Amino acid sequence: MTTLSQRQKGASTLPTYPEYRSLVPPLNANLHKGQGGRICIFGGSSDYTGAPYFSAMSSLRLGADLCHVICDEDAATAIKSYSPDFIVHPYIKIRAANAAQDKKAANDIWVHTFDDINSLLKRTHVLVVGPGLSRDKGMLQSAKHAIEVAREQAMPIVIDADGLFLIQNNPEIIQGYKKAVLTPNLVEFSRLCNAMNVDTEDEEAEQSAVQRLSQALGGTIVIQKGKSDVISDGQKVQIVDNEGGLKRSGGQGDILTGLVATSLAWGLAYEKEVWQHTHPVKQEDVAMTACFGACVINRECSRLAFEKHQRALQSSDVLAEIGPFFHLFYQKPRQNATWSQAIYG
């Protein structure tokens, strides 16, 4: 069984379990609805409705209070039917815009869409862009606008899937924004490196390429998903290598985006001192610590689900492990436990 080492060759010192645990809001009567995290998932097209479900549900299963989903109007009914726990907003009206009688009528639709996005993002803590987004021009245009609005509000942004396609072709959208987190798989990572002229063919360690991509993007956090998850903000490099499941099913990456989003929302609450604490995590380390903990949880829930279902594993099985695992992960270990003690008991 692979365990998290405290220091790895070529990598920075890892965040500790107590540091991640300190970002988790306590469950007490002093907090009100919303302070545990208000997440907005931007995705869900006419062809892809499952991905935003996995991202939204994982954010709620970890402990976010509210999750909004902004999607295409043709995807809204399906996404609503998956769970009553989401607040679904069919703001993106591609079919209506395409059917408009003239350019002005189509433009009016998009103006209304952007106004709706602006209003909603004022009420959320973290934006996730990409799950089920598709490469439709209208969806990408709307996603670009949402990212720009989130940047203006200094909001953490998590970008995955076709959101990464948008960044690959328009890196200036997040260039230099240190509150953005990209979560590419190996193929998406290679495309981003090509777009940013980052060499991946040399003999240096894999984590060095992740660091160089982050540097090329101006300090945007990059989580390269793979056999191990490699995280870098351009300065530090951290490797998450606790054992995961061996079955790859669609939706597992979307689960990670939801876990990262909730962890980042907790980090915001920690920084705002929504509850009393002793500031064990420096402000400049909060985002990396949040990302690291989310990756640990994602890999362990995947492992637990794989032990039960093997080749039959589906992403919904991973979702089912989040609540029970996190309860033990947070409640059972001593507060000064190591990662291995917290994960494996």
Whole-angstrom Cα distance, residue 38 to residue 326? 19
Whole-angstrom Cα distance, residue 331 to residue 315? 25
Whether 44 has a binding-site annotation, put simply, is no
Token pair 């509210």 is at which residue?
A: 66
Whether 225 has a binding-site annotation, put simply, is yes
Whether 228 has a binding-site annotation, put simply, is yes
Whether 164 has a binding-site annotation, put simply, is no
Whether 104 has a binding-site annotation, put simply, is no
DSSP state of 183: -
Structure tokens at 332: 């059972």
Whether 234 has a binding-site annotation, put simply, is no
Whether 199 has a binding-site annotation, put simply, is no
Whether 254 has a binding-site annotation, put simply, is yes
Whether 258 has a binding-site annotation, put simply, is no
Partners of 230 in beta bridges: 224, 239
Whole-angstrom Cα distance, residue 288 to residue 260? 10
Whether 187 has a binding-site annotation, put simply, is yes
Find all residues with CB under 8 Å of 234, minimum gap 6, and list them. Answer: 211, 214, 215, 217, 218, 219, 220
Whole-angstrom Cα distance, residue 92 to residue 111? 11
Whether 249 has a binding-site annotation, put simply, is yes
CA-nearest of 135, 143, 232, 224 to 184 is 224
Whether 244 has a binding-site annotation, put simply, is yes
Whether 189 has a binding-site annotation, put simply, is yes
Whether 135 has a binding-site annotation, put simply, is no
Whether 101 has a binding-site annotation, put simply, is no
DSSP state of 204: S
Whether 253 has a binding-site annotation, put simply, is yes
Whether 132 has a binding-site annotation, put simply, is yes
Whether 252 has a binding-site annotation, put simply, is yes
CA-nearest of 297, 295, 322, 159 to 229 is 295
Cβ(63)–Cβ(323) below 8 Å: no
Cβ(290)–Cβ(161) below 8 Å: no
Query: Based on C-alpha coordinates, what's the Rg of the chain?
Result: 19
Residue numbers in the known binding site for (6S)-NADPHX are: 132, 185-191, 254
Sequence ranges of the binding site for ATP: 225-229, 244-253
Which residues line the annotated binding site? Answer: 132, 185-191, 225-229, 244-254
